[in-house]
Amino acid sequence: MEWASGDFQQLENPIDDPENQLEQVTPQGVIDSRKVGKHLLSRYPKLVPTMKRIYADKKSRTQDTAKAFMQAFPQDIEIVEMDVDNKTSFHSQVLHKACDAFSKKPGNKEQAAFISVYTPAIIARLQGHSPVELEENDIVGLQQLCSYESVITRTTSDICDIFTDSK
């Protein structure tokens, strides 16, 4: 199969169990979280044992990430569930939500300008292999799917092969 030619025939949905795959910490996320915990313990052997709690929001993936992180520590640590909607919380993990002036809009114009230059050659190469009319955001989405599926499966996704270094 020559994926770089854009043949979509072999693509499969990487999500076969949405209930257990979406909004969950990935297996690689658990491994990485443990590694970070081990790294902190080795780097700060006197500080880490004094930790008593970890703050996390109520999402299961955040809780699972915190549990994996603290597995490297010698002491019991409490996971404190935070109310991220409380804008006055000192412990807010989503600081941008606490600021009414924060906006995601800056950069949208620049991003659109980049995408309009970046995607046409890719669309031209892939369009003949697609059953639907491809648009700029489809290319961005396919590249995001490449990363997402690679994380889920812990191996490079086949969809990544439809992209080349030059296009």
pLDDT of residue 94: 60
- Under 8 Å between Cβ of 97 and 84: yes
N residues, the chain: 167
pLDDT at position 8 is 65
Give pLDDT, residue 84: 59
Q: How confident is the model at residue 36 (pLDDT cuts 50, 70, 90)?
A: very high
Q: What are the residues whose beta carbons fall under 8 Å from the beta carbon of 5, sequence distance 6 or more?
A: 125, 129
Question: CA-CA distances (angstroms) from residue 57 to 50, 63, 85, 152?
Answer: 22, 7, 10, 22
For 16-102, the fitting CATH number among 3.40.50.10790, 3.30.360.10, 3.40.50.1240, 3.40.50.300 is 3.40.50.1240
Average pLDDT over residues 62-86: 86
44 pLDDT exceeds 70? yes
pTM of this prediction exceeds 0.85: no
The chain-wide mean pLDDT, for the chain, equals 81
pLDDT of residue 14: 67
Share of the chain above pLDDT 90, in %: 34
| Domains in the chain: boundaries | 16-102, 103-167
